[in-house]
Amino acid sequence: MVSSILPLLLLAVPLAAAVAVAVAPSGPTSSKFVEIVHVASISAVGVLALLVVGRTMAGDDVTALGNWLYVDPLAAIFVSLIGIVGFLTGLYALGYVRHEVAHGELTPAKHKIFYGFFNLFVFTMLLAVTSNNIVMMWVAVEATTLGSAFLVGLYGKRSSLEAAWKYVIICTVGVAFGLYGTILTFSNGAEVLAAPGGAIYWTTLAANAKLLDPTLVKIAFVFVLIGFGTKAGLFPMHAWLPDAHSEAPSPVSALLSGVLLKCALFVIIRYHVITMQAVGPEFSQSLLLTLGFLSVAVSAFLVYVQHDLKRKLAYHSVEHLGLIVLGLGIGGPLGIGAALLHAINHSFCKALLFCGSGNVLIKYGTRDLKSVKGLLRVAPVSGLLMMAGALALAGFPPFNIFVSEFLIFSAGVQEGHWGLMIVTALLFTITVAALIHIVSGSVLGKAPDTMVKGDVGPSMLVPMAGLLVLVLVMGVAVPQPVSRLIQQATAVVIGGDRTVPLAAPWQHPAPVAEIVAPARAEPRS
Amino acid sequence: MSGFQIVNGLAGLLIVTSLLVIIARRPTRSAMFYALQSLVLVGVFVTLAGTVGSHELYAWAATSFVTKVVLVPVMMVRMFGRLDDPKLGSGERISPAVSVLLAAVVVVLCFAVVSGVALPAVAAIKPALAVSLAHFFLGLAAIVTQRNILKQVFGYCLMENGSHLTLALLAAKAPELVEVGIATDAVFAVVIMAVLATQIHRTFGTLDADQLTTLKG
């Protein structure tokens, strides 16, 4: 572990940007200033995130503020997601929000509110994934809800306020369960550790997990799974998700689905590690397996019957988060690695599609798939990007979702879950049908005659193209550094000696990286 | 009477006050009962601090007093006082009598659960521990059984008080910063819920959760 100023800078930049935007005077001249601050902030966050990740991959877990902030390879995955997807959706937001303000959908005052809360939201997510202090981790997850509530309700319409209310109530109540789980874990640690103060740090708890009271660990994990599972959008706590994702402005939907859900997932993985160390893998794995499978099963049908584009995509998020959790539940080096890879892949792909749904909204003024026809003729580039995104999400090669889905299914088969994998695969064919429906009906098809042809501006298309490039790069082959980072992260979850390199089915796997067991604080008893 | 007995007795009072919060007819009245309940909670913290000799708990009691007895109730009275929905009435899905009965069932269940905990440190304060758990679930029940969205905010506050008490009982020596973080989040949560409720009241002209039915499927 090395102490570094990087995590502090990473957190300070978006927070400072949020404050700068908040105190900026409102008016047309300041809107330029607000946009400059925003772009500077998301660019700096992107660069700093990659620097922190690079540092971690070089073999040093980075800490700051004593032990309060901690970035190991597991956290690094999520830091990089926030950095990259935050940057691209943040760029996309420039064109999107300008359009909404110009067409009176948003008042100029909302312009400022949007960028202020966007940066605050990025800050809270970064805090959640860099916290080593488990109570601060909880505080940060709760703060992500509070920071994004106004973004969800930004349009101020009846439907968006309703969505914001459900989002805040369901998530704060859900996350209150997370607080209970956190408290139980902390008190458990404080009882048994020689230095009770250490029980607040995840690193100490994970290193001393064998000392913890097994019953309390189990109860705490159930609370944590309900609590942060609500935030991750797992069935049956997912009720807020389709409303919030569909009512939020599209760049925010992209951030919610692409990144926020994964931050909650990250916290679950942290507790999964403690629970596996304390009581063995069966308990938490079977819970994850059940919840993951149920999420996939229920959302597959909900995806199919939806006609609202953004709600359809939102239910897809429930399904894919379910699949990630299923992968974690399958366990083993391949299951964990594939789940982490799927978290990355889904993030890029879903951000692309939610940005695309913004283009659809701008062109058609509706999300109703019955009215959206012929996007490829009306807006060719948007149409192509949407088509690629939909095919990617459906799991066709050479796009990235195929690779990680394939690896999760292989892991399941390897661990002997034949029946479960066959049923899951069948369920996924339902959603493939739903996505083909988007492509055949809305991207292709005959455009309404009244429709004005012409695409949205390049300021919105270029970030989407960037996301598509990521989707393709990750689909053609798992890049070496990504494969290595995931191996290192898997080592954090299940120990260093059992990791396997991840590779697409047609790719020569990278040589097994030399993984050092995670350097945690020495057990103190 | 030992300190732990006082703690257990005060914990019993918490259940009474939370029932008052739930069955009060006007949200502003609920806010006052919430302040009263938080005062009882502060009493528990102080007693516990004296009994187990924890400096940290005294600091908690101070922050809790500032945030939960003064700040949050004052904000609630000011912000909720402006919002009214005469058509909604009490907005209860179940009658107060049933609420009380339900609370009793929850408390009994929580006593049964807590009696299974074998940690020696909690032997003397098991009733209080059961109450803290019951409090958490009472808050959840309040959210489900109230149609008035302002009353749902109180449900969240009760859940938060419940988990706070659990933390104090199980880990009396947690660093103060922990408690400051939790308290700050709770204050912001209430502010944001109140702002959203105000916007909803302005746009929908109602505080009835059952009227929020635009989004389906």
Within a domain: A195? no
List the strands of the sheet with A69-71, edge to edge.
A2-3, A62-64, A69-71
Chain A residues lying within 8 Å of B174, measured CB to CB: 135, 186, 190, 200
Average pLDDT of the residues in A334-340: 95
pLDDT tens figures, A204-221: 999 999 999 888 899 899
Which chain B residue shows the shortest CA-CA distance from A306? B217
Listed by number, the residues of chain B in 117-136 with a beta carbon closer than 8 Å to a beta carbon of chain A are: 117-119, 121, 136
8 Å CB contact between A199 and A176: no
Q: How far apart are CA A222 and CA A508, in angstroms?
A: 40
Q: Give B5-58 as a DSSP string.
A: HHHHHHHHHHHHHHHHHHH-SSHHHHHHHHHHHHHHHHHHHHHHHHHHT-HHHH
pLDDT in tens, B9-68: 888 888 889 888 888 888 888 899 999 999 999 999 999 888 888 888 888 889 889 998
Chain centre to alpha carbon of residue B214: 30
CB-CB under 8 Å, A186 with B167: yes
- Among A123, A137, A165, most B C-beta atoms within 10 A, so best to mutate, is A165
Q: Is B27 part of a structural domain of the chain?
A: yes
Whether A180 and B203 lie within 8 Å, measured CB to CB: no
Residue percentage of chain A with pLDDT more than 90: 69
Which tokens hold the place of B111? 């006593």
Least confident window among A108-122, A285-299, A414-428, B166-180: B166-180
Q: Find which of A179, A240, A315 to mutate to test the B interface (most B CBs within 10 Å of its CB).
A: A179
Question: A159 vs B160: CB contact, 8 Å cut-off?
Answer: no
Is A406 inside any structural domain? yes
Instruction: Name the token pair of A441.
Output: 């009906």
Its domain, for residue B155, covers 3-84+99-201
Of A168, A183, A247, the CB nearest to B167: A183
Asked if residue A88 is part of any domain, the answer here is no
DSSP A442-486: IISSPPPTTPPP-PPPHHHHHHHHHHHHHHHHHHH---HHHHHHH
Contacts of A438 (CB under 8 A, 6+ apart): A309, A312, A369, A386, A390
Beta strands in A42-157 (DSSP E): 62-64, 69-71
Q: Is residue B210 situated within a structural domain?
A: no
**B-chain residues within 8 Å CB-CB of A161?**
196, 199-200, 203-204
Q: How far apart are CA A359 and CA A456, in angstroms?
A: 7
User: Does any domain span residue A405?
Assistant: yes
Is there a domain that residue B114 lies in?
yes
Q: Which domain holds residue A476?
A: 300-502
Quick check: A142 and B166 CB within 8 A? no
| Residue A522's pLDDT band (cuts 50, 70, 90) | very low
Chain B nearest C-alpha distance from A423 (Å): 24
What pLDDT, in 10s, does the model give residues A241-259?
999 999 999 999 999 999 9
The per-residue b/e assignment along A488-497, b for 16 or more CB within 10 angstroms, e otherwise, is bbbbbbbbee
Cα-Cα end-to-end distance for chain A = 21
- According to the model, what pLDDT value does residue A524 have? 42
Count A/B contacts: CB-CB distance under 8 Å: 122
- Cα gap A512→B80, rounded to integer Å: 61
Which positions in chain A touch B173 (Cβ < 8 Å)?
190, 196
Tokens 């029946």, located at residue: A419
pLDDT at A289 over 60: yes
Are B182 and A179 a contacting pair at CB < 8 A?
Answer: yes
Q: What is the mean pLDDT of residues A106-116?
A: 91
Q: Which among B170, B173, B187, B188 is the top mutation candidate for probing chain A, defined by the most A β-carbons within 10 Å of its own β-carbon?
A: B170
- Selected for mutation to probe chain B from A138, A141, A180 (highest B CB count within 10 Å) is A180
Provide the sign of the torsion angle of the four alpha carbons A350, A351, A357, A360, taken in this order.
negative
Per-residue pLDDT of chain B (217 residues; tens, 9 = 90+): 588 888 888 888 888 898 888 888 888 888 999 999 999 999 999 998 888 888 888 888 898 899 989 999 998 888 888 887 777 777 777 787 888 888 888 888 888 887 777 666 677 788 888 888 888 898 988 888 888 888 889 999 999 889 888 888 887 777 777 778 888 888 889 999 999 999 998 888 888 888 887 777 6
Which tops the pLDDT comparison, B178 or A520?
A: B178
Q: Which residues of B34-72 are buried (b: 16+ CB within 10 A; e: fewer)?
A: bbbbbbbbbbbbbbbbebbebebbebbbebbbebbbebb
Contact assignment for A187 to B217 by CB distance below 8 Å: no
> Cis ω on the peptide bond leading into residue A398 (within 30° of 0)?
yes
- Whether B199 has its CB under 8 Å from any CB of chain A: the answer is yes
pLDDT of A525 higher than 50: no
Round to whole Å and give the CA distance between B181 and A31: 33
Residue indicated by tokens 């009241």: B201
Chain A residues whose beta carbon lies within 8 Å of the beta carbon of residue B181: 135-136, 139
Q: Is A514 exposed, middle or buried (0-12, 13-18, 19+ CB in 10 A)?
A: exposed
The string of DSSP codes covering B78-133 is HHHHT---GGGTT-BSS-HHHHHHHHHHHHHHHHHHHTT---GGGGGGHHHHHHHH
B188/A187 Cβ within 8 A: no
Residue with the bigger pLDDT between A506 and A520: it is: A506
Question: Is B55 an 8 Å CB contact of chain A?
Answer: no
Q: Do residue A158 and residue B160 have CB atoms under 8 angstroms apart?
A: no
Q: With contact defined as beta carbons under 8 Å apart, do A274 and A185 qualify?
A: yes
- In this complex, do A197 and B189 lie within 8 Å of one another by their Cβ atoms? no
Which residue in B135, B138, B145, B167 has the most chain A C-beta atoms within 10 A of its own C-beta, making it the best mutation to test that interface? B167
Report the residue from B149, B166, B171 with minimal CB separation from A165: B149
**Chain A contact for B50 (CB, 8 A cutoff):** no
Min distance A173 CA to chain B CA atoms (Å): 6
How many angstroms separate the CA of residue A239 from the nearest CA in chain B?
A: 10
Residue A192 with chain B: CB contacts under 8 Å: none
Give how far Cα A102 sits from Cα of A89, A108, A151, A366, Å: 20, 9, 18, 18
Residue type, A265: L
**What is the C-alpha separation between B209 and B183, in angstroms, rounded?**
27
- DSSP class of residue B148 equals B
Torsion of CA A335, A341, A342, A345, to 10 degrees: -170
What pLDDT shows up at residue A451? Answer: 81
Residue A393 CA to residue A241 CA, distance in Å, equals 18
Q: Which of B136, B160, B171 sits opposite A190 (nearest CB)?
A: B171
| Residue B21 contacts A where some CB pair is shorter than 8 Å | no
What gap in Å lies between CA A267 and CA A128, rounded to an integer?
8
ipTM of the complex: 0.91
Q: How far apart are the first and last CA of chain B?
A: 57
More confident residue, A316 or A196: A316
What band does A512 get if pLDDT is binned at 50, 70 and 90?
A: low
Residue A315 has pLDDT above 90, yes or no: yes
Locate the chain A residue with the closest alpha carbon to B192.
A146
Report the 10 Å Cβ neighbour count for A364.
21
Q: Which of A71-85, A99-113, B102-116 has the highest mean pLDDT?
A: A71-85
Task: Give the mean pLDDT of chain A.
Answer: 90
If you average pLDDT over residues A473-487, what whole number do you get?
A: 91
Distance from CA of A187 to the nearest CA of B (A): 5
Is the CB of residue B52 less than 8 Å away from at least one CB of chain A? no
Torsion of CA A78, A82, A85, A86, to 10 degrees: 180
The minimum CA-CA distance between A453 and chain B, rounded to whole Å, is 31
Contact A312, A393 (CB under 8 A): no
In B, which residues are within 8 Å of A215 by CB distance? 117-118
How many domains does chain B contain in total?
1
Dihedral sign, Cα of residue B76, residue B81, residue B85, residue B88: positive
Q: Has residue A511 got a pLDDT over 60? A: no
Residue closest to A114 by CA, chosen among A104, A106, A103, A123: A106
Q: Which among A153, A158, A200 has CB closest to B196?
A: A153
Minimal C-alpha gap between A8 and chain B (Å): 18
The residue of A67, A162, A193 whose CB has the most chain B CBs within 10 angstroms, and thus the best one to mutate to test that interface, is A162
Number of domains, chain A: 1
Residue A488 to residue A468: CA distance in whole angstroms: 26
> Hey, are the CB atoms on B160 and A176 less than 8 Å from each other?
yes
Tell me which chain B residues have a C-beta less than 8 angstroms from the C-beta of A200: 174-175, 178
